[in-house]
Structure 1
């Protein structure tokens, strides 16, 4: 719900910026819009694509290590069990 309110606030601010009577030059409008969007994204607690992909790699390695450890534990448990007759 916070995201919806935040997006609406950003939209309203962008509309005011674009419709202002000051008629800012295009590079100035772009600079203000970029700052506005960066601020909104920071409040939404999102991560960059690079951060996401880095965490994906870390998670994949962790899963692989966990699978190896699970196999080792299973093998050790099987060795500890007495042979069934």
Structure 2
């Protein structure tokens, strides 16, 4: 679900933002930040980009089918009204 490479990059950026003196005191800061980020992000109800894109396509196809059905229904209603005496 979460891209480990992006998570590592984010942890690295955060640890690089820490002043050098503090960074030396915190040898495992990058891995700890990564663990904390992973833990917190896993609590969120997120979907992958791939899953989002797939569901977007499904929604587009569903909307197209609904539009076609509405047009067909309108056509049938008009035909039925024209046939009534």
TM category (shorter chain) comes to: 0.5 to 0.7
Matched, 1:44 2:49: no
Structure 2, gaps ≥5 residues long: 1-13
Matched, 1:80 2:83: no
Distance 1:72 1:22 in 2: 71
Q: Secondary structure, in 3 states, of the residue corresponding to 1:47?
A: coil
- TM-superposed deviation, 1:83: 6.0
Match of 2:66 in 1: 66
- TM-superposed deviation, 1:53: 1.0
TM-score of the superposition, structure 1-length normalised? 0.57
Distance 1:51 1:30 in 2: 29
- TM-superposed deviation, 1:32: 3.2
Structure 1, gaps ≥5 residues long: 1-13
